[in-house]
Chain A
Amino acid sequence: MVGNLAEQQPTAGARVDVVDVSHRFDFDGKALPVLNRVSLRIAPNELVSLLGPSGCGKSTLLRLVAGLETPTIGTISADGDRITGPHPSRVVMFQDPTLYPWRTVKANVSLGLEARGLLRRQAHRVDEALQLVGLTQFATAYPHQLSGGMAQRVSLARALVNDPKLLLLDEPLGKLDSMTRMTMQQELVALWQRSGFTGLLVTHDVEEAVFMSNRVIVLSDRPATIKADIRIDLPFPRHRGDPRLAELRRQILGVLGLDTDW
């Protein structure tokens, strides 16, 4: 199933340094502080989960790392270079697939290559990416003809075709049904293991965070600060029934202040 797109990449993932970042938005004329002095170092090829209550600033941090917005205070750099804007080596996959409805599946996946004028030379990468997510058959379908899970797979292929050094995932599985979700969690981990990218995964699902990542960063309520930074040194593939995962999950829920309810 996994094509050579994933295997032919010797490139290492990016190292990310978030240094003393604070951010605020203008909201109704008032300043809304969202991030408060967040510092974080992500090593190359790590898969880090960002966990925190809804509205605490997880997506904001992700957008800052993507370069879609600039932090009010502090710096973020990738491999030592300061991030000042978006770059194709850092691709975001959003909660909604945000496929262009006027483009076929294949044309959607081609987007990044087309935007950079590489489509003619690297057209084969599009087919490889489609094969990687198992949607070769649906290359000519339009997004309205896809199910939620398929659409999110296309979105993943569209990100991977750019050969990112940093893949930013903003609750990419948040809207999927639980079965599709579990399958895609496994697929994402397998993909990350085979290819060379650093992953930053925003999620509100503790289970997902401990199952998928090497490290879980727990954020506080808004304005977000880092409450806990937990390493998960278990080998992949992991098993959902593993008692060590259950223990980690309990520990993280404790940090979130939810342990008594569970």
Chain B
Amino acid sequence: MSSASLTHGETNLADFPPVQQSRTGFWFIGLIAATAWCAAALVIGGLPDIDDFERTGLLAKIAAGIAGTLFFFAVGEQITGFTTPAKLRNAGPWLLLTGLALTAWELTTAKYTLLPRPFFASPQALLEVFTDDYPRLGDSVWNSVRLLAGGYVIGAAVGFSLGVAIGWSRAIGYWAHPVLRLIGPLPATAWLPVAFFAFPSSHNASTFLIALATGFPVTVLTWSGVAGVNKAFYDVARTMGASQRFLVLKVAIPAAMPSVFVGLFMGLGASFSVLVVAEMMGVKSGLGWYLQWAQGWAAYANMYAALLVMALMCTGLITLLFRLRDRLLAWQKGLVQW
């Protein structure tokens, strides 16, 4: 047989990522960024504050530390002979911009009253929240994550199972479809009054709402994924003796996974907004509650700190989901990079 002759010519494994440019030598942008951070440190430490901020010294030290590190990487390469990490080099323009922005922010809020206080908090006030109020902030993050994870996992699991069932069984689809159409598009937050009344604790009620918000997109996209599976995939498995169970677990579900992940991403986004609303309205803990508490006391710096932490939490969770998807769907071509 002559199969070997053809197989070699057809090699098609060239799916390599573009080659990472490894520039070396003097890092010019790094040096400018170092200068910007140096200026920030000088402004923060050198000029008198308009108020008695407690963390001015620490902030100046941090800025100086960043300036020093950047300076080291910018010129150190010539002296010590190691290479600056490509990622750091790549971030050069951003580092420059943030250095300049910090200087401007410091000048307008802490050194001169150019922006109305207290709504515009100064950098050192924000830093102070992290250094002094971290127990409460950390506690809030922990409570938020716990509440979110509980609701999300329940919602995703129920939505996934329901979606597979609807996609697979005509009978289940018959009963579930109208209910899903009526209730699904309703924003989960509309259930808030009912939920807080019906559940024994506000924690349970919030878990339910988050599960609801997550469950709908996961159900619909799992369902559409299962319904869209190439029918020939089933024929192939059936002629080889596959059972119904095999067809569901080894054909329908893996084939539907890309669609399921779209649902999981949408569900995660929806769950964030329900989480914040639920925490503001009922649960007396978590970042949503912290935000509202800070606003009530006109503690704007605390509010910004909580917003920042919340952003980090949300992006962290999305990143986690992306990682999971990249691992499970490695077989797919052209995945979006996060």
Task: Give A residues with C-beta under 8 Å from B.
Answer: 1-2, 66-68, 86-88, 90-92, 94, 96, 98, 100-104, 111-112, 114-116, 133-135, 137-138, 141-147, 149-150, 153, 158, 162, 180, 183, 186-187, 190-191
Contact = CB atoms under 8 A, between A and B. Distances in A.
A110 to B, nearest CB: 10
Contacts of B3: 1, 133-134, 153, 183, 187
A66 B239 CA distance: 7
Contact of A102 (B6, B241, B255): B255
A94 B243 CA distance: 20
Contact of B240 (A104, A116, A183): A116
29 contacts: A1-B3, A68-B235, A68-B239, A86-B238, A87-B239, A90-B239, A92-B235, A92-B239, A94-B235, A96-B232, A98-B233, A102-B329, A102-B331, A104-B331, A111-B236, A114-B250, A115-B240, A115-B243, A116-B240, A133-B3, A134-B4, A145-B15, A150-B12, A153-B3, A153-B7, A162-B241, A183-B2, A183-B5, A187-B3
B23 to A, nearest CB: 31
B242 interface: yes
A137 B243 CA distance: 31
Contacts of B2: 183, 186-187
Contacts of B149: none
Interface in B245-299: 246, 250-251, 254-255, 257
Interface in B1-53: 1-7, 10, 12-13, 15
B237 interface: yes
Nearest to A91: B239
A1 B4 CA distance: 8
A190 B2 CA distance: 10
Contacts of A144: 331, 333
B6 A149 contact: yes
B256 to A, nearest CB: 10
B332 interface: yes
A38 B251 CA distance: 34
A68 B238 contact: yes
B237 A115 contact: yes
Contact of A98 (B230, B329, B332): B230
Contacts of B250: 114-115
A147 B235 contact: no
Contacts of B332: 101
Specify which of A111, A153, A158, A190 lies most central, judged by the most chain B CB atoms within 10 Å of its CB: A111
A149 B246 CA distance: 28
Interface string B68-100: 000000000000000000000000000000000
B129 to A, nearest CB: 47
Nearest to A180: B6
Interface string B324-337: 00000101110000
Given A102-B257, A153-B3, A187-B2, A92 B236 contact: yes
Contacts of A101: 331-332
A134 B7 contact: yes
A188 to B, nearest CB: 10
A183 B6 contact: yes
A116 B238 CA distance: 11
Given A100-B251, A187-B3, A150 B10 contact: yes
A147 B6 CA distance: 11
A183 B8 CA distance: 14
Contacts of A134: 1, 3-4, 6-7
Given A111-B237, A115-B241, 12 more contacts: A67-B239, A68-B238, A87-B241, A88-B241, A98-B235, A100-B233, A101-B332, A111-B240, A112-B240, A137-B7, A147-B10, A191-B1
B10 A149 contact: yes
Contacts of A86: 238-241
A100 B246 CA distance: 14
Contact of B12 (A146, A190, A191): A146
Contact of B13 (A87, A100, A104, A145): A145
Contacts of B13: 141, 145
B236 A1 contact: no
B46 to A, nearest CB: 60
A4 to B, nearest CB: 14
Contacts of B6: 134, 149, 180, 183
Contact of A94 (B236, B237, B240, B241): B236
Instruction: Give the most central of B5, B13, B243: most A CB within 10 Å.
Output: B13
A144 to B, nearest CB: 5
A56 to B, nearest CB: 20
A27 B120 CA distance: 70
